[in-house]
Amino acid sequence: MNNVAIFSREEYEGRVRAAKQHMEQKGLDTLIVTDPANINYLTGYDGWSFYVPQAIIVSPMLTEPVWVGREQDAFGARLTCWMSENAFKPYADYYVQSEVRHPMDYVAQVIQSYRLDQGHLGVEMDAYYFSALSFQRLLQALPEARFHDATLLVNWIRLIKSDQEIRLIKQAANIVTRAMDTAMEVIRAGVRESDAAAEVLRAQIQGTEEVGGDYPAIVPLMPSQVRTGAAHLTWIDRRYEPGDTVNIEIAGCVQRYHCPLARSAVIGVPSPQLLELSQVVAEGVTTALDIVKPGALAEDVEIAWQDVIQRYGYHKPSRLGYSVGLNYPPDWGEHTVSLRRGDLTELRPNMVFHLIAGMWLEGYGLEISETFRVVPEGVEVLTGTDRKLFVLEEPRALCS
């Protein structure tokens, strides 16, 4: 069978070597990876199978990662992974959602078959799809193992992207640009929010003429009216009205690599307070991006932003941004570096961040975001959407 992994075998092998080096630094003999993004990063596996337990096993004693998943997903794993046939260890369907058996019982059996059950084992304790019961079953089945938290071990390796990863993120940038253009075209008075969101999602998946889109890790976040004062709300079943403000936070996605983008729009004439807020936020974002360069600290970017908005009497208590790239629902962030005071991570070339200046105030809100890449010369903003509040209709158009 010819594997169709996205990256070269050499790139995957380099990632696995890096994981093993980090394991050695932490004194780990074996790593059990359950985060679907980290599984993808090390093996290429890409399937909507993370609703049941699955894992890969990484160890210096193994020449390649071992994939453990549901039997009906094994063919998909063979199609998308770079490893040899011996690396696939599917479990029978009677492990799925059983009150008697658990898939982690089988993972433990695989670990025992390789005689890896008596050393120091790392598990991703805070991964979305690694449940308390999964850990409990591993503890019961591997009593001689010593378990350690290795939640972000692979995530930190993912922080600096390869040129091929950057290429995929740039393709995602083209898609999200088109999807944002679509949002500005379809949001009008009288249009249902759900219909507008459907058109945006269609654009995200349709992609561009050059490349089709993947499903993004987060659905379109498109609240309107007073709901713009709250973060992370989606659309509802209502029709837009004159004067509505709409926040649009979306992403392009290609082969699971994301490029998020957020803007706000108003139907008609914006209020003076919203217009002022948009100008302050745009100035703050521009100032923060000017700080980005290799050697700068993550907190430097947020401090520059806060200096601007506080000068105008505003304050944003939440972080300004985070590293972004490869991921699955429910999040496109990588859970490593945050653009906030106290994060002393040094910026390096080919790190990619979503800088999201979301201002959620009492009764109204506004969002302007940029996904950027750190380059040797400083910063590369990956989309070209105007950094402003979009005014979608003039009063005459609403009355005609």
Same domain, 181 and 119: no
Q: How far apart are CA 378 and CA 369, in angstroms?
A: 18
Give a yes or no: residue 3 inside a domain. Answer: no
Dihedral pair phi/psi, residue 58, rounded to 5°: -120, 135
Same domain, 62 and 167: no
pLDDT at 393: 79
Of the three residues 157, 184, 219, the one that is the final residue of a domain is 157
Give a yes or no: residue 304 inside a domain. Answer: yes
Same domain, 180 and 36: no
Same domain, 135 and 173: no
Same domain, 117 and 233: no
Same domain, 151 and 56: yes
pLDDT at 6: 87
Outline where DSSP puts E strands in the chain: 30-33, 55-58, 66-68, 120-123, 146-149, 245-254, 257-266, 321-324, 333-339, 352-361, 364-375, 378-381, 390-391
Same domain, 208 and 70: no
CATH of the domain at 86: 3.40.350.10
Same domain, 168 and 291: yes
Q: How far is CA 105 from CA 98, 121, 338, in A?
A: 12, 15, 36
Find the domain containing 84 and state its range. Answer: 9-157
Same domain, 64 and 194: no
Of the three residues 138, 157, 176, the one that is the final residue of a domain is 157
Dihedral pair phi/psi, residue 69, rounded to 5°: -155, 180
Of the three residues 157, 174, 205, the one that is the final residue of a domain is 157
Give a yes or no: residue 2 inside a domain. Answer: no
Q: What pTM was estimated for this model as a whole? A: 0.95
User: Quick one: the chain helix, strand, coil %, rounded to 5?
Assistant: 35, 20, 40
CATH of the domain at 361: 3.90.230.10
Q: How far apart are CA 38 and CA 32, in angstroms?
A: 10
Low-confidence ranges of the chain (pLDDT < 70): 1-4, 394-400
Q: How far apart are CA 159 and CA 25, in angstroms?
A: 18
Q: How far apart are CA 250 and CA 260, in angstroms?
A: 6
Give a yes or no: residue 67 inside a domain. Answer: yes
Same domain, 123 and 264: no
- Nearest residue to 206 via CA among 239, 186, 178, 247: 178
Name the residue type at position 377: E
10: tokens are 């050499």
Q: How far apart are CA 184 and CA 264, in angstroms?
A: 9
Domain count, the chain: 2
Give a yes or no: residue 394 inside a domain. Answer: yes
pLDDT at 2: 47
Same domain, 200 and 142: no
Same domain, 146 and 200: no
